């Protein structure tokens, strides 16, 4: 695909937070990428774990992929090969998301140009959660209202996936799913709602894998 002058191809970012240490999570994510058919040329893995969190055993890791064919600017001509490439990329993204959910993190999301937040960053003004979001059933058990609240914020029903639930309202995992009218506002509210679920006895969650 040829690039538009002055248009930087966007990145698809899939991030997760899990019990650490960070190096172990990093290695698990690398293996999940391989299981999803993504080699180092197609996906870059980066450790985002805040230095202040390393002692608690928490880790945040992201996988970055080119998202050009899934996030074309308005008016950009779409060729048949673009449609084929977009379908293949989406299948790899869906496979990666499922493979990462299977590693039993606390939460997991994917979005274009997103910065995955650590738990203590969820209430910061610039942090938000995407509409394509998975969270652990451990959080549902601690906070039974979490799932219905997240469903209401994103306007879709959650589905079971591995040992947790997933909402698909970000147009990446399911392009046919409804997207919130104000996705950033919904994502900001979802981040704060997840922070509430994580708040009580936080360290007990992080010790459980």
pLDDT digits (tens, 9 = 90+) for 112-136: 999 999 998 999 999 999 999 999 9
| Percentage of residues in the chain having pLDDT higher than 90 | 60
* Other beta carbons less than 10 A from residue 164's beta carbon: 22
Q: What number is the average pLDDT over the span 155-177?
A: 95
**Residue count of the chain:** 209
Measured CA angle at 133 (ends 50, 201), to 5 deg: 55
Domain spans of the chain, in order of start:
11-207
Q: Is the pLDDT of residue 33 over 80?
A: yes
Confidence of residue 193 (pLDDT cuts 50, 70, 90): very high
For residue 54, what is the DSSP state? Answer: G
Integer Cα distance of 21 and 12 in angstroms: 25
Confidence of residue 209 (pLDDT cuts 50, 70, 90): very low
3-state secondary structure of 133: strand
* Diameter over CA atoms, the chain: 52
Q: Which of 80, 40, 90, 86 is nearest to 63 (CA)?
A: 40
pLDDT digits (tens, 9 = 90+) for 41-57: 778 999 998 775 655 56
Residue 19 · residue 208 · CB < 8 Å: yes
Residue 106 · residue 195 · CB < 8 Å: no
Which pair of structure tokens corresponds to residue 13? 């970012």
- Return the minimum-mean-pLDDT range out of 14-23, 64-73, 106-115: 64-73
């Amino acid at each position: 695909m040829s690039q538009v002058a002055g248009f930087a191809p966007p990145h698809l970012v899939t991030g997760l937070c899990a019990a650490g240490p960070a190096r172990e999570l990093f290695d698990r994510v690398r293996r999940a990428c391989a299981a999803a058919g993504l080699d180092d040329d197609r996906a870059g893995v980066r450790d985002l774990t805040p230095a202040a969190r390393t002692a608690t055993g928490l880790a945040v890791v992201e996988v970055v992929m080119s998202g050009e064919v899934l996030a074309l600017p308005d008016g950009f001509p779409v060729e048949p090969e673009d449609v084929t490439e977009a379908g293949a990329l989406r299948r790899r993204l869906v496979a990666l998301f499922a493979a990462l959910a299977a590693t039993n993190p606390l939460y997991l999301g994917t979005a274009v140009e997103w910065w995955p937040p650590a738990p203590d960053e969820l209430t910061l003004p610039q942090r938000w959660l995407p509409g394509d979001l998975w969270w652990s059933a451990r959080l549902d058990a601690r906070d039974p209202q979490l799932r219905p609240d997240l469903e209401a914020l994103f306007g879709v029903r959650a589905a079971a996936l591995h040992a947790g639930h997933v909402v698909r309202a970000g147009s990446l995992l399911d392009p046919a799913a409804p997207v919130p009218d104000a996705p950033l506002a919904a994502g900001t509210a979802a981040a704060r709602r997840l922070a509430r679920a994580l708040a009580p006895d936080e360290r007990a969650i992080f010790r459980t894998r």
